Structure 1
Amino acid sequence: MNPTIEREDRHGWPAQPRPDRKLPEPWTPELLTGWGHIHHHSLSPDGQQIAFVWQREGNCDLYVQSLPGSTSRRETGTSWPRRLTFDRPAQAAWTDGQPRWSPDGRSLVYAARSDIWLVDVDGQTRPRRLTDGKKGDSSPIFSPDGNHVYFVSGRGDFENLCYTTPAGDWPVALTRFDGDVSDPQPSPDGRQVAFVYHPQDDLDRWEICVVPAEGGEVRHLTGAAGVWDSQPRWSPDGTTIAFTSNRSGWVELYMLTLASGELRQVTSGAADVTGFAWSPGGRRMVMAINHNGAADLHLLQVASGELKPLRAAAGWHSLPQWSPDRHWLTVEFETPANLPDIWRVDTTTGEAHPLTGSTPPALMAAGMVEPEFTTFISSDEATIPGLLFRPPAASPAAPCPAIVYPHGGPTDEHGRYFDMVAQWLVAKGYAVLAPNYRGSTGYGLAHQHALHGNWGIADCDDMLAAADYLAGLDWVDGERLGIYGASYGSYLATLALARDDRQPRRFKCGVAKYGDCDILASWAQGDRPGREDLERQMGHPTTNRAGYHAGSPVYDVENIQAPLLILHGADDERVHPKQSEQLVEALKRHDKTFELFVYEGEGHGFLQTATLQHFYATLGRFLDWYLL
């Protein structure tokens, strides 16, 4: 299987396959790309079934699975997932959304190809398209009576709230903002819809709003400059909206009583609430709370505010959902060494077991590595957290090469998620340091906002400090260090090579996967969400031209002394492929060594099996040539 490479270019001495290198068992190209990613599950109203998205075989299709003890499982004698769609296009998990159940549990609504679709759970009929937006309809959810389907639509200049019916009637707009709406949530009585509003005139402000279910005046319940209020969730009795907010400096849980306007902060502490759900009846809540990259489950007694741990497993819990009888939860759970699956968790004991099994047996037997949490000191004596993957064979007697692996974003983090690239590199004998550099989420607003106005300064210092930290470990060979990243991580990889002023240089090679090189040009070339995210952090170019220039590695290419592998998707709208082309032209002018591959049909995140297999083969060849 060969990908369609739209453009291939190289300059200088090319990396060649090492004749003495073989893929470690069982890490074949088929295994690296053949696993499926389960995500965005939804528990049926009667607690009998789960629906979820399964990214596999080049698609992101919907599946339904009966749960142990359910009526449908007793009737069929099986709990295998049933596939409901067969042509839903693949997309990155972070851009996808949940399928949502109808109140009677007979159908699901979901988004695909910029439209809203409905499919019957029995699988007897083909999915029906409810909208024809062609501009990005997303986030569908049923009204409590099942007569309306609310969704977010980009059919105007901005994303606004609309509704249609299960019959696909002409959509009705509920908002007409010069700004974007997200996360619609109908009230339990069906009279109102809560949502998050992102004003265009203040990109660092997220508000909680409500609007009458069939149209009327919008009420802005929260809103303050620099504050992100999100995840509005109605209490079962409809009197209160719980939501998360970073107004304290961390992402905490708050409750707003609608009748009185009273706002109460529920959680406090140096950790972020990443997700939560009310119990039926509203007396308790389950929360996922992120501390040092692990999102553990906790139970909250709403009346007293008492918070108790429910399940901690050195991994990442997400999308917790209560059973109707409140005795158990469903939740998505993964670790750096275990693929995401849907688990059932007892709400009394915390005992858990998987409901799905997405990990291939060969991968389970591959001996994957759990990282250790670590910290290192960067410039200004800043402490930088991260995850360190150590190959089992590495020792002072046999030190290994190592890779610094910055994440994308920068408003993201290396949490305890499954990461195939990291595991594959460790299997090949590389140590991997995944730093949560300044600008990352999960470590408080001061850490997250450290890059505002000045991309490419503190974060680049953190990359160089990460290399120094690795070189100081007695089981790492400090003369064989590389750096690899995607998106913002790619930008940092290029920047670190350009700003490394040590002789000899820290890094022997770098890999830049669909990243920026000139952030002012990227601001002009990219899509609106990416442009607004850049403005939110760096300000408008007219107010910070010097900062945009100082943060762009293309102007320091002459300082790069290490070979660079560049990979990009030809259809990337977030970081336009012109960014890699501009970098390549600068590298050529300064007679630098590089390789470039641009893949046809790929966007901001490689999804096609052929592309991924070529990517792994190329990445391995490149790193092995320069570091092994």
Structure 2
Amino acid sequence: MNSRPRYRFEQFFATRRILSLQPAPDGESLLFVSDISGQWNLWQVSSQGGWPRQLTLFTENAARAGIFSRDGSRIAIMADHHGDEKFQIYLMDAVGGWPEKITDRPDVQYSLAAFSPCGRYLAFSGNAANPQDVDIYICDLETKETRQVTPGGGLRYAFSFSPDGSKLLAAQFYGNTNQDILLIDVASGEIRNLTAHEGREVKYQPGPWLKDGSGFYFVTNEGREFNGIAFYDLEADKWSYVVTADWDVSGGVLNADQSLMAYVVNEAGRSVLHVIERETGRRLALPELPIGVISEVDFAGRDSRNRLFIQMATYKEASTIYVLDLSAGTLTRVTESMLGNIPEEVFVAPELVYIDAHDGLRIPAWLYRPHGIEPGAKVPAVVSIHGGPEAQEQPGYNYGGFYQYLLSQGVAVLAPNIRGSTGFGIEYQKRIHRAWGGDDLKDIESCNRYLRSLDWIDGDRIGIWGGSYGGFATLSAATRLPDLWACACDFCGPANLITFLQSVPPHWKPIMKAWLGDVEEDRDFLIERSPITYVDQLKCPLMVVQGAKDPRVVKAESDQMVERLRSMGREVEYLVFEDEGHGFTKRTNQLKGYGAMADFLIRHLKK
């Protein structure tokens, strides 16, 4: 490769991670969660930008979300401890406040929902009554009394109060591709299933109410391959689609007077923003946005200026918040995420490619080619498998700069959306159900074959990396396709599907049979698909990274793989973070973990 300036690992990871955007009701500021302090905390910043104000001072706990009450005077917060995902609910005054716990059950996972319109009540969900069920609770913030609204049984998540506060919109969750929308009477607890659909798998996800309470918007794929936005008319007791596309549609947020609707179309992973007049469907002209990933859009509830808040990332910029003023047609950056002082031309834009699978299926993938490859030269590559598996690889600043650092070191990256990924239709997504380690593994083999077909890739220096399900896929590929890889790096992936099923969070267990399999009925199948079964076939160097507090893929999953390999004298590096869960909450751990994984891959691929 041509001689180019080299930038340090720390520069690529010198970002402020940002998530969970929520505008203040008046639109003059917004809440977001960031690790500016070194840990996830809640911050507030002016809509004009500037230095944000830190609202929480967590060090061992991690804030995950924050929401305003309707009048903006209070903030509810969700936080967990050392990444254990046992989220608790906190409440604080918006000005001069300090977070006080509303819940204090370290054995329970709660999820934050919404304030009532009057601000006195706070709705949330949790598995406090029965570890395998998720129920809906309402806390009276004046009396501090909390009551269970749903009677138990199933997985029920609250979303929002009706405009008059008498009803709750909620979702009944059966699986990633199957939900219902519930309408719950707050006083009586009566539950009405608005979307009952026995015998079929359909997604239904609640959205915003009309101000008069006559109905609400929601996202569904009823009768379609892709998600669209629909409206439910409560008086007529029927619904119809209002926005559809040949890709998934998300968002459906309304401005203050509800004359406008904003939504995002996911075009093969690239986000395209649309704003329309709600009643006529006429599309507004928008300023050009960079190609990237929009994770959230929202209007403020009482803001009359028609400002749309956007959280967005690109291949050269980590997640950042903008304000789009629809009246003025201007886009203003509110937060700054990139701190590494790296010139923009250093970053590599991905190319969308399609790879032919063994059965004729076309696999979408993002291919990143390092700059400066000399004619005739060949470079090493990493195949990156995303988690989920029902998630999507998109062209953002992925994994905190992990890809871009590898690219700067002359290592190419291929990041596919193998079968089971979201964003390419419901049938594509469902191909992973009860099929882990089957055709998805053949897709990974096809990705390896594709890389070997490129004249600038060294086929003898291809590694594989992934986290969570991607870690399982990495272990499967390394043990069952051992001749294809120069190295493999697993980040918190299951090694044994039987012990994985036995150790998942209790409220996951009711849905695991349809998703992955049953420990007793499918025992032989699960053994046949587990990487641990083929551990003796591993040939390449392996690195395993694990959080000791991980509630999804417990540490024992990684322990057993490492212990088996070491007992056979195989090369394996094992890095455990005692104060982390499923991923990294602390910035120091993020730097150490990704730094170690990048060093491992580069060390073995650039020999």
TM-score in same-fold range (> 0.5): yes
Question: How big is the shift at 1:24?
Answer: 7.1
Secondary structure at the aligned position of 2:178 is classed as: coil
Alignment partner of 1:427 out of 408, 411, 430: 408
Contact 2:490 2:544 in 1 (8 A): yes
Aligned ranges for residues 103-182 of structure 1 at < 5 Å?
A: 103-113=70-80, 114-122=87-95, 124-134=96-106, 135-157=108-130, 158-167=133-142, 169-182=144-157
Shift of 1:312: 4.8
Alignment of 1:498-537 (within 5 A): 498-500=479-481, 505-532=483-510, 534-537=512-515
- Are positions 1:352 and 2:331 aligned together? yes
In structure 2, what is the Cα distance between the partners aligned to 1:189 and 1:298? 30
- 1:562 to 1:410, Cα distance in 2 relative to 1, 3 A: same
Which digits, 9 at most, give the CA deviation of each residue in 1:506-554, with x for residues without a partner? 2111111111111111101222355455433223333433332232121
Of 289-298 and 225-234, the range deviating more from structure 2: 225-234
Change (3 A) 1:127 1:168: farther
The 3 A distance-change label for structure 1 pair 443 and 583 is: same
Counterpart Cα distance in 1 of 2:306 and 2:117: 23
With over 3 angstroms needed to count, the CA separation of the structure-2 counterparts of 1:274 and 1:309, relative to structure 1, is farther
Q: CA deviation at 1:274?
A: 2.7
Instruction: Name 1:333's counterpart in structure 2.
Output: 312
Q: Does structure 1 conserve the Cα–Cα contact (< 8 Å) formed by 2:35 and 2:587?
A: no
- Structure 2 alignment gaps of length 5 or more: 81-86
Pick which of 318-327 and 377-386 moved more: 318-327
Determine the C-alpha separation between the residues in 2 that align with 1:463 and 1:531. Answer: 28
CA distance in 1, matches of 2:319, 2:187: 38
* 2:316–2:344 contact (8 Å) kept in structure 1: no
Partner of 2:230: 254
Partner of 1:35: 15
User: Alignment partner of 2:415: what SS?
Assistant: strand
Q: Aligned to 1:613, which of 581, 586, 591? A: 591
Q: Deviation of residue 442 (structure 1)?
A: 0.7
Contact 1:518 1:549 in 2 (8 A): yes
Is the alpha carbon distance of 1:204 and 1:532 closer, same or farther for their aligned partners in structure 2, counting shifts above 3 Å?
A: farther
Q: Aligned residue for 2:562?
A: 584
Tell me by how many angstroms 1:166 deviates: 3.1
Instruction: State the match for 2:210 in structure 1.
Output: 235
Residue by residue over 1:317-344, the C-alpha shift from the partner in whole angstroms, topping out at 9 and shown as x without a partner, is: 1321225225321111111221111111
Q: Deviation per CA, 1:160-195, whole angstroms, max 9, x where unpaired? A: 111123336110221123112224201112221111
Q: 1:88 to 1:115 in 2, by over 3 A?
A: farther
The 1:486/1:565 distance shift into structure 2, 3 A limit, reads same
Aligned to 1:317: 294
Q: Does the residue aligned with 2:77 lie in a helix, a strand or coil?
A: strand
Which residue of structure 1 aligns with residue 55 of structure 2? 84
What's the CA shift for 1:458?
1.2
1:55 equivalenced with 2:35 (yes/no): yes
Tell me how far apart the structure 2 counterparts of residues 476 and 309 of structure 1 sit (CA, whole Å).
43
- Give the residue type in structure 2 aligned to 1:61: N
Instruction: List per-residue Cα deviations over 1:58-93 (Å, max 9, x = no partner).
Output: 32211111223xxxxxxxxx83211111116555x9
Residue pair 1:395, 1:474 contacting (<8 A) in 2 also = no
- Structure-2 change in CA distance of 1:305 and 1:550 (3 Å): farther
Unmatched tracts of structure 1, length 5 or more:
1-21, 69-77
Please state if 1:185 is matched with 2:160: yes
CA RMSD, aligned part only? 2.5
Going from structure 1 to structure 2, the CA distance change for 1:162 and 1:58 (only over 3 Å counts) comes to: same
Q: CA shift at 1:282, angstroms?
A: 2.8
Q: What's 1:438 paired with?
A: 419
Say whether residues 1:457 and 2:430 are aligned partners: no
1:489 aligns to what SS in structure 2?
A: helix
Moved more, 442-451 or 50-59: 50-59
Q: Are the aligned partners of 2:489 and 2:543 in contact in 1 as well (CA < 8 Å)?
A: yes
Change (3 A) 1:510 1:24: farther
Question: Bigger shift: 212-221 or 399-408?
Answer: 212-221
Number of the residue aligned with 2:83: none
**1:410 CA drift (Å):** 0.3
Distance 1:282 1:292, change over 3 A: same
Task: Return the alpha-carbon distance in structure 2 between the equivalents of residues 90 and 117 of structure 1.
Answer: 12
**How high is the sequence identity, in percent, across the aligned residues?**
27
Aligned-partner residue type, residue 371 of structure 1: P
Please say if residues 470 and 478 of structure 1, whose CA atoms lie closer than 8 Å, have aligned partners that are also in contact. Answer: yes
**Equivalent residue in structure 1 for 2:357, among 367, 374, 378:** 378
Cα separation, 2, equivalents of 1:309 and 1:544: 54
Task: Note if contact 2:434-2:514 (Cα within 8 Å) is conserved in structure 1.
Answer: no
Q: For residues 257 and 214 of structure 1, what CA distance do their matches in structure 2 show? A: 22
Q: Would you say the 8 A contact 1:396–1:474 is kept in 2? A: no
Distance in 2 (alpha carbons) for counterparts of 1:611 and 1:619: 12
Q: Does 1:411 align with 2:408?
A: no
Q: Distance in 1 between matches of 2:434 and 2:113?
A: 36
In structure 2, what is the Cα distance between the partners aligned to 1:363 and 1:57? 22
Partner of 2:524: 546
